[in-house]
Amino acid sequence: MEKTYMAQPGELKTRWWLVDAQGKIVGRLASDLAMILMGKHRPEYTPHVDTGDYVVVINAEKVVFTGKKWEQKEYAWYTGHPRQHRETAAKRRERHPTKILTEAVRRMLPKNKLAYKMLQKLKVYAGPEHPHQAQQPELIELSKRRGVLTLKPVASPAS
């Protein structure tokens, strides 16, 4: 009788990926990032274990919304006082450019305690610089065809 493989915590080696968000659509990029953070791109995926990898996203301020979402999409949050704050996506891009992508990914992760650990593996930066050179993240181009996420490592330009 064959047994189903279940990954144990700390058993799998995590990798670091580098994603350039320039010109990418927010929702499609967020769903790909959520899949990598959950570990669904691996054959060893186990739902109750964090099997995901680290993802460094650069140029987050240059993401794209389709249609008129920059003016029409609103983010709302409760302040603790008897009112709600609201701001458009364009205003949020001016104030906190990394928060647009971080919130989109957070809402695509499972709603449990493990999602907090997964979200900590996401590092989002507004510009092209990041402080994770020591981890040697691999530059990848995300492409999603027919519902299957494929990671294509891109050769880094020679320094």
In a domain, 158, yes or no: no
Percent of the chain with pLDDT over 90: 81
In a domain, 53, yes or no: yes
In a domain, 146, yes or no: yes
Number of domains composing the chain? 1
Per the structure, the complete domain to which residue 77 belongs is given by 16-153
**Residue reference for tokens 């609103």:** 74
In a domain, 95, yes or no: yes
pLDDT of 158 strictly over 60 = no
Tell me the CA distances in angstroms from 95 to 89, 90, 117, one per residue in order.
Answer: 10, 9, 26
In a domain, 10, yes or no: no
pLDDT of 9 strictly over 50 = yes
In a domain, 8, yes or no: no
Contact 50, 110 (CB under 8 A): no
Contact 28, 69 (CB under 8 A): no
Question: Hey, what are 120's tokens?
Answer: 């900590």
Span of 33-37, 127-131, 141-145 with lowest mean pLDDT: 141-145
Convert the pLDDT of each residue in 58-114 to its tens digit: 999 999 999 999 999 999 999 899 989 999 999 999 999 999 999 999 999 999 999
The three-state (H, E, C) secondary structure of the chain, written as one string: CCCCCCCCCCCCCCCEEEEECCCCEHHHHHHHHHHHHHCCCCCCCCCCCCCCCEEEEECHHHCECCCCHHHHCEEEEECCCCCEEEEEHHHHHHHCHHHHHHHHHHHHCCCCHHHHHHHCCEEECCCCCCCCHHHCCEEEEEEEECCEEEEEECCCCCC
Tell me the CA distances in angstroms from 62 to 20, 79, 91, 138, 154, one per residue in order.
Answer: 9, 28, 14, 20, 20
In a domain, 122, yes or no: yes
**CATH number of the domain to which 129 belongs:** 3.90.1180.10
In a domain, 2, yes or no: no
